[in-house]
Amino acid sequence: MASEPQRGSREAYDYAEVRNRSDQQSLRLRRVSSRVSNHNYPENDLRPTPAEENEEGDSGPPRELKTIPLPMALKRAVRQAQEMHVPVVSRRQAWRRRKSLHKLKEKARECLHFFTLWRKSLQKIGGNFGGGVESYFLFLRFLVVLNFVSSLLIAGFVLIPSIVFRSVGGSAVNGTGPDECTVYDPNPQGLDLFYNYFLNLLSGTGFMEYSYLFYGYYNNTTVEDRNFSYNIPLAYLFTAVFYFVFCLICIIARMGTAAQVAVATGGGAVGNYSVILFTNWDYGCQGDQATKLKQKNILYRLQVDLEEESRKKKTAALTLGQKLILYSLRVFMFLVSLGLIVAACYGIFKATNFSQIKSGVKGILGLVYEYLPSIVITIANFLVPLLGDQIARVERYSPSNTVIVALLRAVFLRLVSLAVLLFTLWRQITCEGNIESPNCKLCHYNYNDHPCWETRVGQEMYKLTLFDFLVNFALLFLAEFPRRMVVDNWSSKLAQWVGRQEFVVPANVLGLVYGQTVVWTGALFCPLLPLINTIKFILLFYFKKTTLFYNCRPALRTFRSTYSTVVFLVVLLFGWGLATVVMVYSLAQISPSRGCGPFRFFPSMWSIVPTSFYRLSETTQDFLFFIGSQSFSIPLFALSCVVMCYFVALASVYGKSVALLRAQLKLEGRDKQFLVKQIEELSRHQILKHTAGAYE
C-alpha cells in the first residue's frame, strides 16, 4: 500500500529527529513553527528531561527560560507548561522563594550596572577601535578605582586622625641622641612671590613641603583615653603595609578571573583559525568605517597567520648554516639592546648626581636642575623602545613573539630606570651605605644634605608623577593635534606616509604601570600621593579618550585582548615588587629622620611594632607568639600542601575527562553515520519488499 513506505520513511524521519533532538530540533523549530500549526509543538523537548527531574527533587523550573533558543511566543508556551508542572504545595513555595530571590538578584545587578564607571564611553571605544584599545581603558579604570579606594583608606586611618589629634595627645617616646639631628626648618624665609609659589607647587618645596602632603608634617602623637587609644605612628606603618597587601590582593583577584578565561581557552596559539572565524566578528561595530576596518583587521590577521604557518614550515627546513647565522644575529641584537639599557641607566645616574649637586640653585634653572632626572628618564623611555623596534625587526621573531619581546624590554627599561633613580637617592641619604663616614656618623643618615630624607624621597616621587602627567598633556597639544592637522590638511606624499597617529596600546600601558609604580614607591613618604594619582588618572582617561577619537586611526595590527589583561597585570606586579622592596628596606634598615615625621625617636620605622606589642595584654601576646611558633606553622604548611595536591589532582582529572569526552564525540559521529546507513538500507529493503508484494 502506498501509505506504508511513507510510514516507514516517516518512522525514519522521527527516529532521526529524536536522535538529533537537542540540536536539529531546535534549529528546525524556528523555521517550522512559522509554517505549521500548533500540533507541532515539541512537548517532549521542553519538559524537563528525566535526568534533570531526578537530580533536583523539589526544585522549581530547572531550566531558565532565557537560555532556551526559541522565539518569544514559544518561550511563553514553555513557561505556561512549566507553571502547570508545579503541583505539590511545598514545591510551589520553594519555587516562589527561588523566584523572589531571583528577582532580588536581578534588581541588584541592575543597580550595579547603573553605577559602573564610564560604561558608555568604554562601549563606544570598544565598538570603534576594538578590544585591544578597550582593554587599555579598562586597565586605566581599574587603576583609578584602586587608587581611589587606597586614598580613602589612607585618609581614614592616617590623615583624618592626624588632623583631629594634632593639638591633642603627647608623644610616645621621648627623644634621645644628639640635638643637631633634630633641627629641621622647612619654612622658607622672606617674601613669597607668585613665581616662587608656582615653582614650589611644581617641585613640592617651600609651602608644600611642610604640609600633610609629605611625611615630615606628621607627628609622633599618641592619644590615650579611657577606652580609646590611637597611636599615629603605628597607624601610619600599618596603613602603609596594608595598602601594599590590599593592592596585591586586588591585582591577583583580577588576574585570577582573566587567567581563568585564558586557561579555559587552552592557549591562543597561532593557527586557531576556527576560533578566529567563528568568534571574531564584533557585532558592536557601528558605521561603515568601523565595519570596513574590522574586515581589514580580520583579513590582515588571517593573512598573517597563514603566512606565519607557511613560514614555520620553511624555517623547519632551514639548513644548519642558516640557523647558526640567525641565532648569532639574535644574540648580538640582545647584547645591543642590553647595552642601550645600560647606557640609559648610566645617563640617569649621572643626571641624578648632577641634580643633587646643583640643588641650591633658584629660579627656572633651578627648576630644570630639579627635574633633570625625570627629563632624562622620559627621554630614555622614548628613545630606547624606538630603537628596540628596529632591533626587533632585524631579529626576525614571529609577529606575536616580537610584540612580547618588545614589551618585556620596555618594561625592563622603565623599571630599571626608576630603580637607578632610587639607588642614587639611597647613596646620598645613607652615604653609600657606610654609616661610619663623616657625614652620616652623627645621625646615621646624611643630615647635612637631607635633614628630613623621607620628605626628600617623597618630593622626588611627587615630581616624577607630576612630570609624567605634564608630559602627557604637552604631547597631546604639541604633538598629536598638530600631527593630525598636518596630515588632514596637507596632501603631500610625506604627510600621507606619516599618516595619522596610531594608538599604540603596549606603550600606553607601560606609562600607566610606571606611574602606578612611582605612586607605590612614594606612598610611604607622601601619603596623599594616591589621591593625586586618582585625579591624574581620571584626567588622563579623558585626555586619552579625546586624542583617540580626534587624532588616531585604529591600529591595523591588533593586540589580543584576552591575553593583554593578564600581561598588563603581570607587568603591574613587577612594579609592585619593586615598590615593596623599597618599602621593606626603608622600614627595616634606614634610620628615620630625627627632626621630622612620626618615627623621629625610633631607631628604625619597624621598631615601633615590638614596642607596642609588649604593651598588649598577656593573652594576646601569648596567642600571637603561638601563631608565629613552629607548632602552628608546620601543621599549617603541611595542610596547605595537602590542599594544593588535591587541586592539582582535580585539575588533571578534568583534563583527562575532557580528552575522553572528545574521543566519545568522535565515536558518536561514527555511530550516527553507521545508524543512518542502516536506516537507509532498512527503508530501501522495506520499499523493495512492498513494491514486490504490490505486484503479486
Positions 98 through 117 that interact with other proteins (CB under 8 A): 106, 109-110, 113
Nearer to other proteins by Cβ, of 424 and 564: the residue is 564
82, 61 contact by CB (below 8 A): yes
For residues 431 and 423, give the distance between their C-alpha atoms in angstroms, rounded to a whole number. 11
Nearer to other proteins by Cβ, of 268 and 635: the residue is 268
With a CB cutoff of 8 Å and minimum separation 6, the contacts of 133 are: 125, 126, 503, 505, 548, 554, 555
- Window 349-378: contact mask with other proteins (x via CB under 8 A): ------------------------------
Positions 76 through 95 that interact with other proteins (CB under 8 A): 76, 79
From 252, 277, 329, 659, residue interacting with other proteins (rule: CB under 8 A): 277
Helix or strand (DSSP H, E) at 552: strand 552-553
What Cα–Cα distance (Å) separates residue 142 from each residue in 136, 177, 250, 298, 428?
A: 10, 46, 9, 29, 36
Give the pairing type, strands 221-224 and 229-231: antiparallel
Nearer to other proteins by Cβ, of 493 and 670: the residue is 670
For residue 422, what is its C-alpha cell? 632610587
From 72, 89, 317, 642, residue interacting with other proteins (rule: CB under 8 A): 72
Stretch that binds other proteins, among 29-37, 406-414, 529-537, 621-629 (CB under 8 A): 29-37
Positions 254 through 273 that interact with other proteins (CB under 8 A): 257, 260-262, 264-266, 268, 271-273
Positions 513 through 552 that interact with other proteins (CB under 8 A): none
26 in contact with other proteins (CB under 8 A): yes
For residues 576 and 578, give the distance between their C-alpha atoms in angstroms, rounded to a whole number. 5
Nearer to other proteins by Cβ, of 447 and 563: the residue is 563
With a CB cutoff of 8 Å and minimum separation 6, the contacts of 210 are: 186, 187, 216, 217
End-to-end Cα, the chain, rounded Å: 12
CB of 274 to other proteins, least distance (A): 4
Nearer to other proteins by Cβ, of 292 and 393: the residue is 292
CB of 287 to other proteins, least distance (A): 6
Positions 643 through 682 that interact with other proteins (CB under 8 A): 662, 665-666, 668-670, 672-673
For residues 527 and 39, give the distance between their C-alpha atoms in angstroms, rounded to a whole number. 73
- The residue assigned the cell 629622620 is 593
Positions 126 through 185 that interact with other proteins (CB under 8 A): 131
39 in contact with other proteins (CB under 8 A): no
Stretch that binds other proteins, among 26-34, 51-59, 145-153, 608-616 (CB under 8 A): 26-34
CB of 236 to other proteins, least distance (A): 36
Amino acid at 550: Y
The helix/strand/coil state of 321 is helix
Concatenated DSSP letters for 265-292?
Answer: TT---TT-HHHHHHH---TT--HHHHHH
From 100, 116, 211, 291, residue interacting with other proteins (rule: CB under 8 A): 291
Nearer to other proteins by Cβ, of 113 and 493: the residue is 113
- Window 205-234: contact mask with other proteins (x via CB under 8 A): ------------------------------
CB of 564 to other proteins, least distance (A): 11
What Rg, from alpha-carbon coordinates, does the chain have? 34
Cα angle, residue 341 at apex, residues 335 and 346 outer, rounded to 5°:
125
CB of 572 to other proteins, least distance (A): 20
For residue 482, what is its C-alpha cell? 598638530
For residues 435 and 446, give the distance between their C-alpha atoms in angstroms, rounded to a whole number. 9
Burial of 287 (0-12, 13-18, 19+ CB in 10 A): exposed
314, 357 contact by CB (below 8 A): no
Concatenated DSSP letters for 588-651?
Answer: HTSPPPSSSSTTTTSSSGGGHHHHHHTTS-HHHHHHHHHHHSHHHHHHHHHHHHHHHHHHHHHH
CB of 672 to other proteins, least distance (A): 7
From 295, 328, 629, 633, residue interacting with other proteins (rule: CB under 8 A): 295
134, 120 contact by CB (below 8 A): no
Nearer to other proteins by Cβ, of 23 and 43: the residue is 23
For the chain, give percent helix, strand, coil, nearest 5.
Answer: 75, 0, 25
With a CB cutoff of 8 Å and minimum separation 6, the contacts of 227 are: none
Stretch that binds other proteins, among 42-50, 286-294, 548-556, 614-622 (CB under 8 A): 286-294
- Window 448-477: contact mask with other proteins (x via CB under 8 A): ------------------------------
279 in contact with other proteins (CB under 8 A): yes
Nearer to other proteins by Cβ, of 63 and 427: the residue is 63
Stretch that binds other proteins, among 189-197, 275-283, 454-462, 525-533 (CB under 8 A): 275-283
From 67, 90, 617, 619, residue interacting with other proteins (rule: CB under 8 A): 67
Q: Which of 392, 421, 414, 422 is nearest to 404 (CA)?
A: 392
For residues 672 and 680, give the distance between their C-alpha atoms in angstroms, rounded to a whole number. 12
CB of 261 to other proteins, least distance (A): 5
Nearer to other proteins by Cβ, of 561 and 607: the residue is 561
Beta bridge partners of 230: 223
The helix/strand/coil state of 191 is coil
- Window 296-335: contact mask with other proteins (x via CB under 8 A): x-xx--xx--x--x--------------------------
Binding site for other proteins (CB under 8 A): 23-24, 26-28, 30-31, 33-35, 65-67, 69, 71-73, 75-76, 79, 106, 109-110, 113, 131, 257, 260-262, 264-266, 268, 271-275, 277-281, 283, 285-288, 290-292, 295-296, 298-299, 302-303, 306, 309, 561-562, 662, 665-666, 668-670, 672-673
